Each structure stands twice: as C-alpha cells, then as structure tokens.
Structure 1
Amino acid sequence: MAYRTIIEPFRIHSVAPLRMTTEAQRREAVKAAGYNLFGLHSDDVLIDLLTDSGTGAMSRDQWAAIQHGDESYAGSPSFEIFRSAVQELFPFAHVIPTHQGRAAEKILFTALGGTGRVIPSNTHFDTTRANIEYSGAEAVDLVIAEGRDPVSRHPFKGNMDTARLDAFLTQNAGRVPVVMLTLTNNSGGGQPVSLENIRETSAVCHRHGVPLFLDACRFAENAWFIREREPGQGEREVSDIVRDMARLADGMTMSAKKDPMGNIGGWLALNDDALAEQCRALLILTEGFPTYGGLAGRDLEALAQGLKEVVDHDYLRYRIRSTAYLGEALAKAGIPVLQPIGGHAVYLDAKAFLPHIPPLQYPGQALAVALYEAGGVRGCEIGTVMFGRHPDGSETPATMELVRLAIPRRTYTQSHIDYVIEVCGEVARRAPTLSGYRISHEPKQLRHFTARFEPLA
C-alpha cells in the first residue's frame, strides 16, 4: 500500500541547535549585512535554504570512513578508494581531485579558455560563467525555449537546444574548445536533462569534433528524473543511468558538495591524456599533489562513501518527493513557483510574486530579504543581481527573476518545511507593501556574493 506521508529513510543520530530570533532582530541583522543574505551570520538564520552545496548531513558510514582516511602527501590509499568510487559511476580515464567544483572549473577553463573562444552550455551557473569570462572567453546559454518559461511543464526543461547548438558550432568553427552540459540545470530551476538529449548533444558535439563535458554536481537527481519521466527508463537502476550519461561525455567537472554528499570536495575527470597532463600541472600549482588535490584523505574517503549512498533508490525517492512537497504546497496556496518542481530546490517566481518591482530594482533580492525578515528563512536570488551584470559593465534584466529555496540533504524534517510554507504565505500577504533595492557597492565579478544593497522608498 502506498502512503502519502513522506518519511525520511534514516534516523536522526546527532542534532545541532537552532537559535530562535524575533523579526526585529532579523531586520537589524540583515541591515547590518547590507541586505545581502550571504553576509548574515549563520546563527542568525533559522532555516537556511541559501544553498544545498556542502550543507547536507553526512551519514554514520561517512563519518566512519573519515576515521579510515590516510593523510600521506603522495600515494595515499584514500585516493585509490576515492578514484575507484568515482570511476564506478563515471568511467573516465583520469580523475583529478579538487577542493570544490569551482577549482575544477578554474583548472579546465585556464587550459581551454582564452580570448576569442566561446563556450556554450544549456545554462552556465555563476562560478562556471565567471571562470569562463575570467579566462577571456565568452559563456553562451542554449537551453530550450521551455527552459526560459517559468510556467512550462516540459519534463526536461534543462535540455540543450541541439538545433541551436549545431548552428552555433558551425558559425563558430575553431572557436569552441568545449561544450558544457549542466545536470540538473541549476540556473534554470533545477530542471533535468533527458538521456535522449544528452545523447543528441553528444552526437552534435562529436560531429563537429568538439568535446562534451558535464557539469554533473546533481547527477543522481538528474538520473532519478530520467528514471521517473523518460520512456523506457522506469525499471532501470539509477547507477546504470548515471554510467550511460557519463559514457556520452568526454569529461566532467564536479562539486562534490552536492550529490556526492560531502561538506567539501570536487573533481575534474576526463579521457584526453594531453589535457589531463596539463590540468594536473595546474592542479599542483593551485591545489595540491594529484593524489589529494586540496583535500584531506579523510575527505576523499567520505566522498567515496557518499557516492555509494546517493544512488540509493529509497534516498532519491525521498529527496525528490520531499522537495516536491514544498513546491506543491506553495503552488496550492497561490504562490508562484517555477514548474515543474526541480530536484534540489523550489524556485519562487519573484517576477510574478512582486510584479510592481521592476527588474533593475531586483525583485528577487526584495523577496529573499522579505523571507528572512518575516521568518528567518534564508534563500538565494537567482535573477538580475546574479546574472544581470555583463563583462563590459552593462546591466540587463535576467531572463527569469527567481528566489531559490535549496534543500540541504538529510538536514531538515517535514515540520521545518511546513514552517517555510507558512513564512512564504505571510510574505505573500505582505507582497504589495514590499519595495525594490539599489546596489550601493559591488565587485566586478560574482557581485551577488558580496554586494551591498539599500532599500528604495
């Protein structure tokens, strides 16, 4: 018998306290942070949905694996355990550990980027785009049209527009060193990419002689969506779907702080021997020796165990269903959310939530601040603040104005999520009274992390 109640497929073994605050205290805290939620002290946050990156709870077996870690500078057996676990799912010839995903991106685009080059993706996320642009190259997004429509219910809104990619590679012959494919598509609402689309994208790339790399930090969630939504995939093991995804690519970057269940870590994996040698030289220069790459041996062992746990069907069923529980409740309450609900997060449609605030007054930032002030819920703006500023200094509205409520893995219970639903309802009641923001200070790159804001009257 199928029951409607979503239960966590684990028991709570250790707990951390939450500090309860008043709305007056939160208003003072966010003002002191320049109305930038990244600037808050975490103990001033009640429910932290800023990111699912490195914020999950590790399992009993991961903590046990930490005790097994070997901290030898070179040739650690912990690296062999880590590499074997990676290659079990991603059978690439070379596995290069890094301290997190953006370090893998930095190494890859230092090797492949440069002035005059262009790198397409379905949708680049913030650090990927910034690392590409820092190298002098241009980042281009080629997601399907449905992926730019918050209300479309296309089952695979993260898909690459392969017709546009084919034309793009023809028009830019000799300028494209690599094509990236983000799984799931974080900037587009945590939306998955179908196995068929990965196969078509791979075929287009290889027809043009261009390698395909996966930004695969939420690979297990993407594979679960394939299993649930794609014809012919419903009876397959998630681990087999992951291997199929990997075999269609020439390499990958990974933030192991997401699906691999780590609090830190990442890797770059690829098949090209010459490129791997170049990347290892950069790794030694910036991260560490190739058998630890900026990580302790204990971290490598915890990630190896996490890779086994993340493809468990009971875990993934709970993970995707519990995220949907939040999204469905908000939609039922009339709160605009991006559809269909993604894997790691629910994305509020700030443009529809606050239609009276123009894009260049940052409705996503206004909504995110309001959620914190009202209930201590910290989300993340994914809109014009994050993606509106261009390398030439100009600013244009982002395609979508979103606030991401990212769910850390194995961290919050259903009652925490019910509280978030109530807070969103209260902010919806206040919506007509909310106003926009101006930026009073911003860095040249990745401004959303450290910019300061002032509320407009």
Structure 2
Amino acid sequence: MKTRTIAEPYKIKMVESLKTTTREQRLAAIKEAGYNTFLLKSDDVYIDLLTDSGTTAMSDVQWSKMMIGDESYAGARSFYTLEAAMHEIYGFKHLIPTHQGRAAEHLTSLIRIQPGQYVPMNMYFTTTRAHVERVGGIFFDCIIDEAKDTKVIHPFKGNVDMAKLQKLVDEVGPEQIAYLNIAPCVNMAGGQPVSMANMREVRAFADKYGIAVIYDATRAVENAYFIQQREAGYQDKTIKEIFRELMSLADGCTVSSKKDNLVNIGGFLATNDDGFARRAKELVVVFEGMPTYGGLAGRDLEALAQGMREMVEDAYIASRVRQVEYLGQKLIDAGVPIMLPIGGHAVFLDATNFLPHIPQDNFPAQTLAAALYVDSGVRAMERGMVSAGRDPKTGENNRPKLELVRLTIPRRVYTNLHMDVVAESCIELYENRHKIKGLTMTYEPDSLRFFQARFEELEPAMA
C-alpha cells in the first residue's frame, strides 16, 4: 500500500509578508555585509534558514499563556509553573532559568571547570567551547570517526567513542575531567543523534570514575525521535517516554529554549546536584537576575512551560523532522552533496564536495552561504573553518574535517513550497559550481568570529 502524505498537525492562523528582492539588490546587500550572512538585514532576506534559534512560530496556547504571566520580581507564580513542566518533561530536581542557552553554559563553565581540566564533548559547539576555553578548560573531541565523513551512513553519528574517552582518562586521570558534555543531537555534525545504548555506556563510564554527565539538551527532542525511529525496542514508546529516559542518564543539562522548547527567547540550567544548584543560584543573581526569573519576563516563563509540553507531542516532532527530510531528499535526488544521513534540525550542504576547487583557506562553506543568498535570497550559515576559530595556544586556524553550510529549518514557520525554492536554488548553484570563487577574511573578531567576521571575494564572480 502506498504511503499517504502526512500534513502538518496544525493550521495557519496568522501570516507575515515576505520581501522579494532582485539579484542586484542581494549582491549589494551581501557586499555591505562583508559576505557574512549574519550581518545581513533580515528585511533583505526572503527565506531565512540562518538558524532555528528563537525563530519558532509559537502556538495559540502559548500566546494565551503569556497573558497570565506573573511579573513579580521574586517568587513569581510563573516560575513554579515552569518548574512543574520541567519536572514532568525533563525530570531533574533543580531549575535555574537564564536569558538564553549560552548564559547557562557560562554558569556551568564557571562553576565546574578548573584551569587545565578537560571537557570531553561529542564534537564541539561554538559557544560551549568558547565558554570552556575562557575559564581555562580544554576541549576534547570524543565523537565517533563516522561523524566526520559526510558520505557514511550511520544511524547514530553523534555517539561517543568510548575508546577515545577511556584513553583520555588513562592519560590524564579522572580528576582532570571537569565533566562530560554530551549533545543529543550534535549540531556541528549535521544534527546527528546519539543512541540510548551509547548514553547508557557513557553513564556507566561516568559512574565508574565519578564524573558528571551534563547534556547540551537544546535539540534532544529531535534525538528522541531518531531513537524512536532507529533504535530497537523504542518503536512503541512515545516521544515523551523516550525523552524522559534519555534525560535520566544525565546529572543535569543546559538548554537554549529557543530551539526544542518552541519559544523566541530563554534558556535554563537543570540539575540533580544540590551543591551545583546552590552555586548556580548565587551566580545567576550576579549575571541574570533572581533565580526565579533568570533574565526572563513572567510571560516568557509561561510560554516556555507550555512549549515544553508541546515539544514532546509525537505528531509535532514527526512533522518537524519530516520537513527537514523533505528538503534533504530533494537535494539527494539531484545529486547535491549533503551530510548523510539527514539530520534533525537542518540540512547541511557538504561545501568541500560542492566546491572542490576552493581550498579550505578560502572558506568554501562561507563562500557557498553567500552565493546561495545572492542566487535566491535564502539565508543560510557557515559551519566550517570560520566557525571552528583558532587554537588558543598556537593561534593557528582550527581545521575541521567538515566544511558545511547549514540550512536550518525554523519550527512551524515555512511550508514545503518554501523548501522547494531552497532546493531549486541549491541545485542550480551546484550545476554552476565552477563559477563560484573563494573568499578572503578582511576582519576577524577575537572570539566567535563567525558572527561578525567580514570577507571579500577573491574574484568578482557572484555578480
């Protein structure tokens, strides 16, 4: 029997007009932005796939909840509403709200890391690594090797390589491991998930050596969906059940609520560690606000609490990931090189194989993101050498094996017709890839350079 089409589990109640521009206008805009899509004005963008962070369309229920937000400075009712939702969905003991995810990373790094300690991660994330290194920590990549090959098909490319982890502990000792920072799914590897079996191995390893496991749980609901679809024994479990089991294998987590949690601003720390929670509440007052609001308004806390419950609805998350698959499959069918398998929150163009004539020193992923915008008004972002930054000891460019362009799908925002537009632009660029030239960097910030760096073309080819 032929598989029936499954539509989005919602209907559109409000629309926002999109601005269309000419190629000449887009060329002028990208030059003004220094060929950095982060520096484009949103009014000059047609389809915005820069990020899924804070770009969600909230539900009618979320908007209604905002009207009952308690804006009391201390002890607001809305905090306890959020705390109850976190207990139900995540299952951790303590909640500390923050204004967004990187604030939670900042507090975690300050409290947990001593200079010279290692923080193993299943591949780095930009802001996480920056916070680790700013307090003297050392990033250690323990992801499986398959994650760094775009052509390898593996159901759980985000998995931790336990042999790499064991080797590190044998060399430096468990006391030199600040904590294990595990991301389900792995953004920089193309939105690739971890398996429940692998996380059980990580938990057993951590218990053996007395090391804490801290998730970056920003996109963990998408990971729960992949476990449901790919891992034996989970096909008949709900996303909510799988998610709660996954969270039970960690001691705590940091979350950017602007992704899974379906809100436009916010984040939090959650932990089972009483001592860590106490110190985090002390520091959150210094950097964010009272522990019961953490830089957020009461209305934000209410919307976040509702978003936590909506994110684990099976129909919603299936629709969300399937839209990403829809775009990815169109590109695969046309022979466009992407990270395989298709990830949870984005399709990642493989810039190395898309533009093999451009060396890494000329930033193929940055170049491709700029070319895509000029071609169609679609804004994507670079995830390659620019994002990887420099080695803090040598000052040399970090050279990741992956040079990717992330086509990040906002939640509940675009239709599949928008995905068709994106696919057509990528396909046409690939057919004419030999015309695309590289870039050189003209301005480089000291940290997180991908946000503000500026470039210029080696040759004026985009015109």
Category of TM-score, reference length = shorter chain: over 0.9
Q: Distance in 2 between matches of 1:187 and 1:441?
A: 24
1:115 alignment partner AA: P
2:385 alignment partner AA: T
Q: Distance in 1 between matches of 2:96 and 2:168?
A: 30
Contact 1:122 1:158 in 2 (8 A): yes
Q: Distance in 2 between matches of 1:290 and 1:333?
A: 51
1:17 aligns with 2:8: no
Q: Distance in 2 between matches of 1:40 and 1:61?
A: 32
Name the structure 1 match of 2:338. 337
Mean alpha-carbon deviation: is it higher for 170-179 or for 292-301? 170-179
Name the structure 1 match of 2:443. 441
The Cα of 1:172 is off from its aligned counterpart by 2.1
1:143 alignment partner AA: I
Q: Distance in 2 between matches of 1:389 and 1:289?
A: 36
Q: Distance in 2 between matches of 1:382 and 1:389?
A: 14
Name the structure 1 match of 2:136. 136
Name the structure 2 match of 1:94. 94
Deviations 1:313-336 (A, max 9, x none): 111111111110100100110100
1:232 alignment partner AA: G
The Cα of 1:378 is off from its aligned counterpart by 0.6
1:303 alignment partner AA: L
The Cα of 1:164 is off from its aligned counterpart by 1.2
Name the structure 2 match of 1:404. 406
Contact 1:6 1:321 in 2 (8 A): no
Name the structure 2 match of 1:219. 220
Name the structure 2 match of 1:425. 427
Q: Distance in 2 between matches of 1:388 and 1:356?
A: 22
Name the structure 1 match of 2:355. 354
SS at match of 2:198: helix
1:447 alignment partner AA: R
Name the structure 1 match of 2:418. 416
Contact 2:255 2:269 in 1 (8 A): yes
Contact 2:114 2:178 in 1 (8 A): no
RMSD of aligned C-alpha atoms? Answer: 1.0
1:277 alignment partner AA: R
Name the structure 2 match of 1:205. 206
Contact 2:389 2:449 in 1 (8 A): no
Name the structure 2 match of 1:245. 246
Contact 1:6 1:322 in 2 (8 A): no
> Which runs of at least 4 in structure 1 moved beyond 6 Å after TM superposition?
none
The Cα of 1:360 is off from its aligned counterpart by 1.1
Name the structure 1 match of 2:123. 123
Mean alpha-carbon deviation: is it higher for 375-384 or for 112-121? 112-121
The Cα of 1:2 is off from its aligned counterpart by 6.0
1:238 alignment partner AA: I
Q: Distance in 2 between matches of 1:97 and 1:349?
A: 36
**CA 1:255–1:396: 2 relative to 1, 3 Å:** closer
The Cα of 1:141 is off from its aligned counterpart by 1.2
Q: Distance in 2 between matches of 1:238 and 1:168?
A: 34
Mean alpha-carbon deviation: is it higher for 333-342 or for 384-393? 384-393
SS at match of 1:187: coil
SS at match of 1:213: strand
Q: How does 1:294-305 map to 2 (within 5 A)?
A: 294-305=295-306
SS at match of 1:87: helix
The Cα of 1:428 is off from its aligned counterpart by 1.1
Q: Distance in 1 between matches of 2:186 and 2:398?
A: 21
1:261 alignment partner AA: L
Name the structure 2 match of 1:254. 255
Q: Distance in 1 between matches of 2:34 and 2:362?
A: 15
SS at match of 2:176: coil
Contact 2:104 2:268 in 1 (8 A): yes
SS at match of 1:186: coil
2:454 alignment partner AA: R
SS at match of 1:397: coil
Q: Distance in 1 between matches of 2:137 and 2:443?
A: 26
Q: In percent, how many aligned pairs have the same letter? A: 49
2:407 alignment partner AA: L
Q: Distance in 2 between matches of 1:231 and 1:400?
A: 30
Deviations 1:82-122 (A, max 9, x none): 01111112221111000110000000001112321110011
Contact 2:117 2:178 in 1 (8 A): yes
Q: Distance in 2 between matches of 1:342 and 1:2?
A: 25
Q: Distance in 2 between matches of 1:137 and 1:195?
A: 28
Q: Distance in 2 between matches of 1:83 and 1:333?
A: 47
Contact 1:388 1:398 in 2 (8 A): no
Name the structure 2 match of 1:106. 106
Q: Distance in 1 between matches of 2:403 and 2:146?
A: 15
Name the structure 1 match of 2:181. 180
1:130 alignment partner AA: A
The Cα of 1:391 is off from its aligned counterpart by 1.4
SS at match of 1:170: helix
2:253 alignment partner AA: M
Structure-1-length-normalised TM-score: 0.98
SS at match of 2:432: helix
Structure-2-length-normalised TM-score: 0.97
1:374 aligns with 2:370: no
Deviations 1:160-193 (A, max 9, x none): 1112112212322211111010010000000000
SS at match of 1:180: strand
**CA 1:133–1:310: 2 relative to 1, 3 Å:** same
1:318 aligns with 2:319: yes
2:375 alignment partner AA: A
Name the structure 2 match of 1:450. 452
